[in-house]
Structure 1
């Protein structure tokens, strides 16, 4: 049976000024997504958008030797801050005026932006992002999460209420915001081979491409018929999340009541 989908429309204000975007995390997925955001910024301006993207990147981590080759960094980058490296590089090459903050998003912080993009690898960090978005003024939360060879990209609305609101990752998968689910072994990998045993070399790029395409579609067409994508590299499969209350209900989310489910795990 086919699923009947509705369309989500880009807010009119985002067509007349720069998109204020905050990216949390400049590691695996963040370092893959940020150059794509710069391409999107350039395309927006070329197509007549008045401001493109005004981006701020938050990450307090530095480049390690095991990041080289797996993330968007090079041997000469080792020891330097990831956020500063990427932002300075893009500002030089693409003419952007983006900002890097070599700090971690704190649990008491407030975010004010059109879109916050989470490129983090723990449930604790994801919960912190959503909390900061709720305390501040944020329209969209784009979650880019992954495990070894699978993950999800989910665009949701935070500062909006009503049955037409796009549910965010916490609405659909509250387990992904539960710090108890974080892995006990958080020690850094001592070699690239060790790191690749824990995570596919391709997964960050795969997630970044899906996020890039979702944002490009939202800008170029002004609408979306889906608000997320589930990626499974082992099976060679991607599945969209339609903008449809019936599809959301399969994850336990009641759009009519706008009430998140009590429990649900991602099936990405």
Structure 2
């Protein structure tokens, strides 16, 4: 196993994190309050700017969303993005921005971190396209099905040694719109919706994303780059910072391999062997 070392970029230490969240539904409404807590904690720990967040979502609250998502009966009919952002701004003193429309794949999104809380492959593809055009640094995918899902933090920038693969690198089918289901009609009732999806899965995914970002900030490094959650079995499995682990999903890391001569020297020197087992990416 060749574990890599990935440290937080200087720009995210010395200035506010410019974060874009796409999707304010089930997972988005679970994650955003935690993102506001992270912002507050960062400021308390001396970070110069915390989090500057923009939220995209064109959907409005329906009666079936109440109880399953972070909304209340009085919210029905209102835009999800506006409701959540305005509420957090009042409660936490933030100045976040809500954009009550879909993110356009053709626009350039300039951000340190883009978080996708979407439920279609087309939306994921649009996020990666817009983030790539804006020269974004990281994409954190928060996806789920009935009772399982994944949280994967990857880099959007061009391939380089030690680059973190994003969800599209590891699971190309998750960014292929051809795989989206044709039936996207909303559930007729909350009971119907609960038969299709666990009441807990959005919160579980939101907590894992929150923990990953908190760890990244608090320690300055990533212990892993993703988590797979399965509520049916009660298990969570991390995605190691390991090119061999990524290769099992079909992604080949572009880390230069040592020559036979270099390998021979590494076998003779324990210090060299330790150094060769680490790579730093920023």
Segments of structure 1 that go 5 or more residues without pairing to the other structure are 259-268
Q: Which residue of 2 aligns with 1:219?
A: 217
Report the Cα offset of residue 135 of structure 1: 1.2
1:98 aligns with 2:91: no
Secondary structure in structure 2 of the residue aligned to 1:125: helix
Choose 1 or 2 for highest CA Rg: 2
Query: Are 2:149 and 2:230, in contact at CA under 8 Å, matched by a contact in 1?
Result: yes
Secondary structure in structure 2 of the residue aligned to 1:120: coil
1:31 aligns with 2:29: yes
Q: Distance in 2 between matches of 1:136 and 1:56?
A: 15
| CA RMSD in angstroms, aligned pairs only | 1.1
Q: Which residue of 2 aligns with 1:261?
A: none
Q: Which residue of 1 aligns with 2:52?
A: 54
Report the Cα offset of residue 257 of structure 1: 7.2
Q: Which residue of 1 aligns with 2:117?
A: 119
Secondary structure in structure 2 of the residue aligned to 1:50: coil
Secondary structure in structure 1 of the residue aligned to 2:82: helix
Report the Cα offset of residue 6 of structure 1: 2.0
Q: Distance in 2 between matches of 1:84 and 1:159?
A: 30
Report the Cα offset of residue 184 of structure 1: 1.8
Aligned residues: 256
Report the Cα offset of residue 256 of structure 1: 2.1
Query: Are 2:118 and 2:143, in contact at CA under 8 Å, matched by a contact in 1?
Result: yes
1:135 aligns with 2:129: no
**TM-score, normalised with respect to structure 2:** 0.89
Report the Cα offset of residue 198 of structure 1: 1.0
Higher mean C-alpha deviation, range 22-31 or range 153-162 = 153-162
Q: Distance in 2 between matches of 1:257 and 1:61?
A: 42
Regions of 4+ moved over 6 Å: none
Deviations 1:7-56 (A, max 9, x none): 21000111010000000000000000000000000000000000000000
Query: Are 1:110 and 1:136, in contact at CA under 8 Å, matched by a contact in 2?
Result: yes
**TM-score, normalised with respect to structure 1:** 0.94
Which structure has the highest strand share of the two? 1
Secondary structure in structure 2 of the residue aligned to 1:56: strand
Q: Which residue of 1 aligns with 2:232?
A: 234
